[in-house]
Copies of this chain bind each other. A is one copy, B any other.
Amino acid sequence: MIADLAIWFRSLQQRITDALERTDGEGRFREDPWERPGGGGGRTRVLEGGAVFEKAGVNWSDVHGDVAPLMRDAMPGTRPTFRATGTSLVLHPRSPRIPTVHMNVRAISRGDATWVGGGMDLTPYYPTEDDARHFHRVCKAACDRVDRSLHSGFKRWCDAYFHLPHRGEARGIGGVFFDWVGLSRAELPSRVQATSSFALESALPREQAVALVQSVGDAFLDAYLPIVERHRDAPWGERERDFQSHRRGRYVEFNLVYDRGTHFGLHTGGRTESILMSLPPLVRWTYDYQPEPGSEEARLLDFLQPRDWV
């Protein structure tokens, strides 16, 4: 089953990069195929300096090998080997009027245990309620196609995950996030059983788990491209660009300080350039940076407060 999913994820990467090239109109993805020394490999596709996308990274991978000693107890299953496959992307548009977006869909198997995870979330720079409603509606529909009980928990899981405790800020307006789906409660690692009510609430049979990860992957272009089209011709200048570059600093702080996937990858010898292709192209940090009180920029933090957008 995971072999079929690996092929499906690769075709999803193809569909997405084709669509993004059409949307961009000028930029082209270059492809870096790579092999993992322990087994398997992937293809990283990056578009830089496009008309719409300043930096867009879409990665596909299908890796297998021995479970690292550190992961033996933390990972579901009991066999000594694993296989993991998925597609992940982060798109950084040039225009501060277009939100940054992240999407990841993945499947992992270890012996009899197979599970999926992922989701997508939106990081706007300028508040647009219609964008937030549209994005969340598409996310909800993708979950509802599998089981109408799923979306509410996955939405709250996303809000809880993409949070910067040291800033007391949300990274963006959220979306959906899930992990360990397809396992029975008994198969969940003990740490997860003890700490994640979200995981306990979202047990699904394996066939539905596969349908879920495909439904979310399929929904990505519908969730994001209409938002790009809505804002691609909106004007912006130095002021908006300066705000965007400071907000991108928060994206870097989240990815490098808190993101579990980034830490796991960097600490276990993952491919650095494929992991860090998520980092924004141009970033600023200014001491105690604050947007002007009452400005459109100052409204963003309030807009990012988690709420029911559907």
Contacts and interface: CB of A to CB of B under 8 A. Distances in A.
A64 to B, nearest CB: 22
Interface string A161-179: 0000111000000000000
A55 B279 contact: no
Contacts of A273: 287-288
Copies in the complex: 2
B272 A276 contact: no
Contact of A281 (B165, B272, B285): B285
B283 A277 contact: no
Contacts of A267: 165-166
Contacts of A24: none
Contact of A166 (B32, B48, B266): B266
B257 A263 contact: yes
A279 B280 CA distance: 15
Interface residues of A, number: 33
Interface in A126-155: none
Nearest to A46: B287
A258 to B, nearest CB: 9
Nearest to A289: B273
17 contacts: A46-B288, A57-B287, A166-B267, A166-B272, A167-B272, A249-B279, A252-B252, A253-B256, A253-B276, A257-B257, A273-B287, A273-B288, A279-B285, A281-B284, A281-B285, A282-B282, A282-B283
Interface of A: 32, 44, 46, 48, 55, 57, 165-167, 245, 249, 252-253, 256-257, 263, 266-267, 272-273, 275-277, 279-288
